[in-house]
Amino acid sequence: MDDSQIVELYLTRDESAIAQTSEKYGSKLRRIAQNVLSDLETSEECENDAYLQTWNLIPPNEPRTYLFAFVGRIVRHLAIDRLRHEGRQKRYALYCELTDEMQECIPGNSDVSQEIDAKELSQLINTFLESCSDEQRNIFVRRYWYFDSVAEICEKYSLPQSKVKTTLFRMREKLKDHLTDGGYIV
Amino acid sequence: MNKHDLLDAVGDIDSKFVKEADKDPVKRSKIVAFQKYYLAAAGLLLLIVAGVIIRNGMVPVVPESEIEEMDSVMTMGAVIEETEEAAVAYTESIEDMEFNSALISFIEKSGFEDENFMISPTSFRAALALAVAGADNQTKDELLKAMGFSSMDEVITWYEGVSASSADLQNSIWKNTKSRGKLSRKYEKYVKKNFGATAKNVSANQITDKVNSWINKSTNGLIPQISSDLSYADLVLVNTLYLRTAWLNEFEDYLTEEGEFKTISGDVVKKEFMSQTTRFRYYEDENGKFVVMPMDGGINAVFILGDVEDVAGKMANASYEQVAIKIPKFETETTFSDNQLIEFCMERGAVQAFNEDADFSLMSKEMSLYISDIIQKTKIKVDETGIEAAAATAVMMTEGCIMIEPQEKEFIADEPFKYMIMTDDENPELLFYGQLVE
């Protein structure tokens, strides 16, 4: 069943929408959660919560052409939320790794907080990603959106670790410059 | 904004990027089809690269600020795109680099860590190739594995590649007439055909002079003597590797001036520093930086400051920059004659070749040979005109039983630095690797 048909089921409040979503994207969604949570049970809980939220969000949203990204974003947020609130040591280490990498992209003195518009920030990241090559963009998205490990990225794209690490490192530097240019100097 | 906001914001990126990253990458069938070729090329390249590892001990003292990226020509994207196809080749190359890195690390552990040294993995492997060509059964399997090969065909493919580079490789076999047994005709033909090695009979009083003089000639006088006494050996297998190449962008003599070099122990010594500011491929990350200087004959000299890992792999990420380079002129000579090379083979599982159980029956049915010693000598000279480097490796074989007693034993470089000399290929071969630390 294609995405648009599944979205149609949500819009008509047909509960099979959830089963269809799960059948089509369940394993991928679970993997996103599991990449940060490293625990199947909690990841499944996140996945189920994500279906519930999707049910509540469609309508008014109609992600006919991007259902996976839509539900994936929800599952991603839910997984991060879990981590932040749970703070279990082992899991937290993974989260720290990701946020430490993000820290490198923040211009200026990060101790000083700055109120920013989240939407505008995402927009800036979008323009940054537009400016990158396909390969760079995919590596970045796999790492920071899908939370893939460097090893997983290497396997997916048949690249040596050193290349993936260097690409990520250079992209973080580039993103930092991009954010600085976009006015995010703290 | 903090790091958490940023991670959250990544979650809200355009769904098209998410979709795109979800796709399975298009398999690069062209590369897969050429994988065998890449492997062979990597093997060849590696030999050359492995050929000489130079370890000097000097560090020039020059302000970091003098190394500047004045202009960036290539965008990161362009570099990545350009190198995408090379990725598979690099992977292969990295696998082959395993032998080189294992050897370098073994030599460092054998007491050379804080010394200037240069080793030639290529010459070492080529000399061993002459031995493995005459080995059979377990002795052969163990040696091949220790050399990083899975079959004799692979060795030959590797050798063909190395000898096609601008480095000059030569091989010879010297049989001491004190031993009555003869070499097998088949073996003589095989090494002649595949490695251009001629076997000669020489008397015990002559063998030392003959071998030394052949090495002296093959290395253009850089290595006049490998040993003062080879008469104890029944058979000597020799490889030499010689490279003389000029900088594509020469250093001007008048720019060479004395500067301070901080050694690994912290002392400051005076050295002659050559300088030039030109566009070169340049790379830096949090661990260090390197510059790639092209040389004649498709060779690259790579000078590394700091601890950049996997330089060969990162060559792909180097971009053209205007770089102010200062490098000391230097000359260094190394001898490995305390069984380090045999111990290295043993550590990698080749044991039988070095004791009386060795099976070199393909080499000679009449003699029960085993390897009793491996010696390597290397020398490099770096000056305004270019680089001259040579290595000679001798594998000494003896009949009967001899106990081996292991012995214990701006680019402006203002701190210990490393350098590599590589072929200029998609899949570069590391010809020389060196370090200046004192």
Distance from the Cα of residue B180 to its chain's centroid:
37
What span, in angstroms and rounded, lies between the C-alpha atoms of A54 and A17? 10
Enumerate the H helices of chain A as residue ranges. Answer: 3-11, 16-37, 40-57, 67-86, 89-103, 118-130, 134-144, 150-157, 161-181
CB half-sphere exposure, A186, CA atoms < 13 A = 17
Tell me the average confidence (pLDDT) per consecutive run of 10 residues in chain A, 186 residues long.
88 90 90 84 89 90 88 90 70 74 74 61 88 89 90 84 82 85 58
Give kind and range of the element (H or E) at residue A60. Answer: none
Residue B147: closest CA among B338, B360, B346: B346
pLDDT tens digits for range B163-186? 777 788 999 999 999 888 889 999
For B269, phi and psi rounded to 5 degrees?
-120, 155
Q: Token pair of B382, please?
A: 């770096």
Quick check: B80 and A126 CB within 8 A?
no
The nearest CA of chain A is from the CA of B4 a distance in Å of 6
Torsion region of B221: left, alpha or beta (phi above 0 gives left; psi -120 to 50 gives alpha): left
Q: How many structural domains compose chain A?
A: 2
Residue A64 lies in a domain: yes
Quick check: B77 and A132 CB within 8 A?
yes
Residue A14 lies in a domain: yes
Measure CA of the first residue to CA of the last residue in chain B; give whole Å.
47
Shared domain check, A122 and A92: no
The nearest CA of chain B is from the CA of A43 a distance in Å of 17
DSSP-derived letter for residue B368 is -
Q: Report the DSSP pairing between strands B168-176 and B198-202.
A: parallel
Quick check: B10 and A170 CB within 8 A?
no
* Residues in chain B within 8 Å Cβ distance of A162: 94, 309-310, 313-314
Q: Report the DSSP pairing between strands B330-336 and B319-328.
A: unpaired
- pTM value? 0.54
Residue A164 lies in a domain: yes
Neighbouring-strand partners of residue B381: B331, B388
Q: Which domain holds residue A136?
A: 109-181
CB half-sphere exposure, B379, CA atoms < 13 A = 16
Shared domain check, A88 and A148: no
Residue B212: closest CA among B232, B222, B199, B227: B227
Q: Token pair of B376, please?
A: 């390597």
Residue B175: closest CA among B142, B135, B130: B130
Shared domain check, A73 and A20: yes
Q: Judge contact between B212 and B225, C-beta under 8 A.
A: yes
Shared domain check, A133 and A71: no
**Average of per-residue pLDDT across B276-284:** 86
Of A66, A122, A170, the CB nearest to B76: A170
- Hey, is the C-beta of B18 within 8 angstroms of any chain A C-beta? yes
B residues 261..320 contacting A (CB < 8 A): 285-286, 309-310, 313-314, 316-317
Shared domain check, A92 and A13: yes
Residue B259 DSSP SS3: strand
How far is the CA of B314 from the CAs of B32, B193, B288, in angstroms?
21, 37, 12
Quick check: B77 and A131 CB within 8 A?
yes
What span, in angstroms and rounded, lies between the C-alpha atoms of B30 and B163? 26
Q: How many DSSP H helices and E strands does chain B contain?
A: 13, 15
Q: Token pair of B398, please?
A: 């003896």
pLDDT tens digits for range B311-366? 777 877 788 888 888 888 888 888 988 788 999 999 889 999 998 888 999 999 88
Q: Judge contact between B359 and B402, C-beta under 8 A.
A: no
Instruction: Please report how the helices A67-86 and A3-11 are oriented relative to each other, as an axis angle in degrees rounded to 10.
Output: 70
Which of A43, A74, A99 represents a domain boundary (last residue)?
A99
The nearest CA of chain A is from the CA of B319 a distance in Å of 12
**Average of per-residue pLDDT across B44-64:** 30
pLDDT for the residue B374: 92
Least trusted range by pLDDT, from A91-105, B32-46, B246-260, B345-359? B32-46
Shared domain check, A12 and A88: yes
- Hey, is the C-beta of B2 within 8 angstroms of any chain A C-beta? yes
Which of A99, A120, A136 represents a domain boundary (last residue)?
A99
Quick check: A136 and B76 CB within 8 A?
yes
Residue A47 lies in a domain: yes
pLDDT for the residue B316: 75
- Hey, is the C-beta of A135 within 8 angstroms of any chain B C-beta? yes
Neighbouring-strand partners of residue B52: B432
Q: Judge contact between B108 and B437, C-beta under 8 A.
A: no
Of A98, A121, A171, the CB nearest to B1: A121
Quick check: B285 and A166 CB within 8 A?
yes
Q: Judge contact between B242 and B218, C-beta under 8 A.
A: yes
**What's the burial of B98, exposed, middle or buried (CB within 10 Å: 0-12/13-18/19+)?**
exposed
User: Residue A158's domain is classified under what CATH number?
Assistant: 1.10.10.10
Shared domain check, A139 and A52: no
Choice between B420 and B187, residue whose per-residue pLDDT is larger: B187
Of B3, B11, B21, the CB nearest to A103: B3
What span, in angstroms and rounded, lies between the C-alpha atoms of A144 and B21? 11
What span, in angstroms and rounded, lies between the C-alpha atoms of B345 and B355? 13
pLDDT for the residue B61: 35
- Hey, is the C-beta of A166 within 8 angstroms of any chain B C-beta? yes
Quick check: A145 and B11 CB within 8 A?
yes
pLDDT tens digits for range A165-178? 888 888 888 888 88
What span, in angstroms and rounded, lies between the C-alpha atoms of B74 and B361? 57
**Average of per-residue pLDDT across B229-256:** 90
Residue A186 lies in a domain: no
Residue A163 lies in a domain: yes
* Residues in chain B within 8 Å Cβ distance of A76: 11
- pLDDT band for position B54 (50/70/90)? very low
What span, in angstroms and rounded, lies between the C-alpha atoms of B177 and B263? 48
- Hey, is the C-beta of A50 within 8 angstroms of any chain B C-beta? no
A residues 102..131 contacting B (CB < 8 A): 102-103, 105-106, 110, 113-114, 116, 118-119, 121-122, 125-126, 129, 131
Residue B272 DSSP SS3: strand
- Hey, is the C-beta of B26 within 8 angstroms of any chain A C-beta? no
CB burial of B220-240 (b: ≥16 within 10 Å; e: otherwise) equals eebbeebbeebebbbbbbbbb
Which of A68, A99, A130 represents a domain boundary (last residue)?
A99
Shared domain check, A153 and A119: yes
Shared domain check, A154 and A119: yes
Choice between B82 and A117, residue whose per-residue pLDDT is larger: A117
User: Residue type for A48, please?
Assistant: N
Of A77, A106, A146, the CB nearest to B1: A106
User: Residue A9's domain is classified under what CATH number?
Assistant: 1.10.1740.10
Residue A104 lies in a domain: no
The alpha carbon torsion through A111, A115, A120, A125 (nearest 10 deg) reads 10
Give kind and range of the element (H or E) at residue B251. Answer: none
Quick check: B6 and A121 CB within 8 A?
yes
* Residues in chain A within 8 Å Cβ distance of B5: 116, 118, 121
Q: Judge contact between B161 and B43, C-beta under 8 A.
A: yes
* Residues in chain B within 8 Å Cβ distance of A134: 20
Shared domain check, A95 and A145: no
How far is the CA of A117 from the CAs of A81, B1, B14, B50, B126, in angstroms?
19, 9, 16, 54, 64
Shared domain check, A162 and A126: yes
Residue A48 lies in a domain: yes
User: What percent of chain A has pLDDT above 70?
Assistant: 88
Shared domain check, A94 and A8: yes
